[in-house]
Amino acid sequence: MRITRTVAGRSRRTAVMATTGLTAAALLMTGCSDSGSDSDEADANGNITLTVADFGQFGYKEAGLFAKYHELHPNITVKENVTAQETVYYPKFLQQLNTGSGLADVQGIEVGRVKELVDTKADAFADLSDVVDPAQWVNWKALQATTDEGKVIGAGTDIGPMSICYRRDLFEQAGLPSDRTEVAAKFAGGWKDYLALGEAYKAKAPKGTFFMDSASAMYNGVVSSDSEQYYSKDGKAIYKDSAGVKAGWELATEAVDKKLTQGLAQFSPPWQAALRKGSIATVACPAWMAAQISTYSGDEFKGKWDIARTPGETAANWGGSFLAVPAKGKHVKEAGELVKWLTAPEQQAAVFKAAGLFPSNKGAYELPDVKTAKLEYFNNAPIGEIYAEEAQVIPAAVLGPKDGVIKDTISTQINNMEQRGTKPDDAWKAATEAIDKVIG
């Protein structure tokens, strides 16, 4: 057999065409999105663009606030740049703070990170204490973003009073009450009762459904109700002996042991998919979670979700965020004005109405939008009533610089127990090893 090597002759032109086409296609496929801040200088007419970088759901889009702001200030356009997961958002944000480039005019900060930024990066933010009036906020919220010198680096957006979101239709099919007061009565005694209800659900659960998404959600609910969580008042990491962590961990291991959970890491794509498919019966629900649920569950389950008061007597706050203005921004003054407006009572009430994120600004609690608020998606649950009472009695939790990472690490290990059958002792050991590495 003779070997002849190809010589591009006759078909050179077609080959070139094909090559060019393929190259173009490949280049299109490799399109890499660069999401740097593009807050430009004001143009000739004094028009400026303000960028807001945030994560998860802040509810501004749902409430149409950016469009409204543009109506009020025709020369200002607001662009929002959303990162789905806060754990992806924050490291990038820190890097941008270090290099001083790529920052938006307004940046969101999650409560698990705010202490670290107050301790280490206060200089990088504009002082908002003379832009907003910190006294308007629930006391503990304002303090979280205030340095020892009294500088305020962030204005509180929402807080996360706890509740339980549940699927009425699944409860009915499992032979459980579906009315929200009756459901709440079922776990009036606390999280233990919540687990007992889970067992009752599991006994007659519709095929392919689970009582809760992940025990890590319940764990966070339990820990959030304690004033001492991961750090003591003098800034020591005490998570190994903290009563709240212990209680939460034990409940979580019990839930895993009884197979009451689907074992999905919260906010991950599989978790989103499970909400879309409707396989989750209850979710431990801080106020902001409602927005997540309605987003991912979609129209199919509209009105089938409902919200019941949190288990037990202890009020809890899980999460919540702040808006900060980086000091090096091009439009610090305008950004400050925007933050002031976004966190004012009326706007917080509008966000609450649209997405269920509960206001941290006390002035909002008296507004009818909050007082009588009902979430249509959740079978018109009177969330205003449910959360407002709770918000008043939330304990002022001691925050620490690495709260966010510690919480995520423990959640990951709870997921490991759920998904891989890791033994509780091994999971706890892995968690403490990882956390010690975090605290470094």
Partner 1 sequence: MATTTPTRGAHGSRPSRRAPKPMTARRQAWRSRLWRFDDKASPYAYIAPFFLVFGAFGLYPLVYTGWIALHRVEMTGLDQMEWVGWENFANILQDSEFWTAVSNTFVIGVISTVPQLMIALGLAHLLNYKLRASTFWRTVILTPYATSVASAALVFALVFRADGGLLNWVLGFFGAGETNWANGHWSSNIAIAVIVIWRWTGYNTLIYLAAMQAVPSDLYEAASLDGASRWQQFRNVTIPSLRPTILFTIVISTIGSMQLFGEPLLLEGGQIGAQGGTEHQYETLSIYLYNYGWNLGHLGPAAAVAWAMLVLLLLIAGINWLIGRFVRKTAA
Check binding of 8 to partner 1 (CB under 8 A). Answer: yes
Check binding of 85 to partner 1 (CB under 8 A). Answer: yes
Which region, judged by CB under 8 A, interacts with partner 1, from 16-24, 161-169, 210-218, 388-396? 16-24
Residue 366 or 436 with smaller CB distance to partner 1: 436
Among 46, 150, 208, 440, binds partner 1 (CB under 8 A): 440
Question: How far apart, in whole angstroms, are the C-alpha atoms of residue 145 and residue 139?
Answer: 11
Q: Are strands 106-110 and 317-324 parallel, antiparallel or unpaired?
A: antiparallel
3-state SS, residue 389? helix
Question: How far apart, in whole angstroms, are the C-alpha atoms of residue 291 and residue 433?
Answer: 34
Straight-line distance from the first to the last Cα atom of the chain, in angstroms, rounded to the nearest whole number:
68
Among 190, 419, 424, 432, binds partner 1 (CB under 8 A): 419
Name the amino acid, one letter, at 49: T
Please, what is the minimum distance in Å from the beta carbon of residue 402 to partner 1?
Answer: 9
Residues pairing with 320 in the sheet: 159
Q: Where are the beta strands (DSSP E) in 214-365?
A: 280-284, 305-309, 317-324, 358-359
Check binding of 208 to partner 1 (CB under 8 A). Answer: no
Among 77, 81, 87, 432, binds partner 1 (CB under 8 A): 87
Check binding of 9 to partner 1 (CB under 8 A). Answer: no
Check binding of 296 to partner 1 (CB under 8 A). Answer: no
Residue 252 or 388 with smaller CB distance to partner 1: 252
Q: Where are the beta strands (DSSP E) in 111-215?
A: 154-161, 163-167, 210-212
**Site for partner 1, residues 24 to 53, rule: CB under 8 A:** 25-27, 29-32
Which of 309, 280, 314, 289 is closest to 186 using CA atoms? 309
Which of 325, 306, 391 is closest to 126 using CA atoms? 325
Sequence-ordered list of residues with C-beta below 8 angstroms from that of 426, at least 6 positions apart, any chain: none
Residue 27 or 72 with smaller CB distance to partner 1: 27
Tell me which residues touch partner 1 (CB under 8 A). Answer: 1-6, 8, 11-12, 14-16, 18-19, 22-23, 25-27, 29-32, 84-85, 87-88, 91, 94-95, 98, 116-117, 119-121, 265, 267-270, 273, 401, 405, 408, 412, 415-416, 419-420, 422, 430, 437-438, 440
